[in-house]
Structure 1
């Protein structure tokens, strides 16, 4: 994390218990070293389908892999709370309610009867199961080789899992749709999922970003494992 020297000093003092964190009078840029405001698409002003794009943030369990972008964990989450117009860290979900297991023993009397039956075989077709909803989000397309590009783009970053991307949407005002995918050869070679947020729901007909952008090493990127997820109500 590219915290400026003054920020590191403030954090060091606060960690001793001498004073709480206080960033009154600071700008977001001064406090974090990044422009993570809503007017700057939360750190990603260039959408991922345009040349020169960079992820605005990372949310996951391996922040050490991404020293060049803000990682939404630890002390930066406390700092961002001073700036309500900035991207925020998802809040941890409450633990599931405690349940008590009760062992029940049932005795059953069994009567055996011999019955002669005639077996009949029928050809059947097994339908592919439809992906189920996750955390209130319904899939609109799954596992395609293209990503959504649309004018209602809000921001994009990197995550480890789909639920982490959904959690990010739940923190961004107006977000109602996420597109997760692997940008193979892109994003500096990262194997993490790209997580793009939008204010409108989209289906596969809006997924017309197939990659094909030249990378610094001479390779071309391409899109894989692209999923779309829509929820019924946008984030407040």
Structure 2
């Protein structure tokens, strides 16, 4: 049985991915900051005979490496690591470049950029024992520098996703034995997606989960280091 580890699994895209991978026969190692309060996740895992969720705060190195120790007691290898956990600025989506809150921006970068780096580092031994050896960083079309427009200004979040795309490239350059990609999931009907004040997001959580699973399943070595759309096409950096 193949194994996938997903961060930020308590709700939104992360929970959608958990449900989709369970349906497709994977062993799912779900992680989130506080598993005890993640009622939907707890019931999903219990009903499908999956391991209980593991506490993992991607903004804390201690939490990350403690989680890696716990996971190593449950599984011998990981085929796919999905770095999904992410946050936005406190005033999202109203986050202009002039007036950025330094502490808040550092909180966002710690989670969205450094988090995937340290999580990948911590789980690298288990990934190298897996068959698929894939690392997927969930990015955003908002992180495309080429696609930036003055009508949609969410500075901190966009900058963090642009940085994540660059981080992905350097992870791939260094980890030549793995496939490492960034994928933008589209505009999904999550709490964060609805906060963009541009109407109702067109893509459901379950729909995004299905498309992401298909694209991740079809990843090839030649895709490594690239920023991809939810359909697997190369996206503009």
TM-score bin (small chain): under 0.3
Structure number with bigger Rg:
1
Q: Which has the higher helix share?
A: 2
Report the TM-score, using the length of structure 2 for normalisation.
0.27
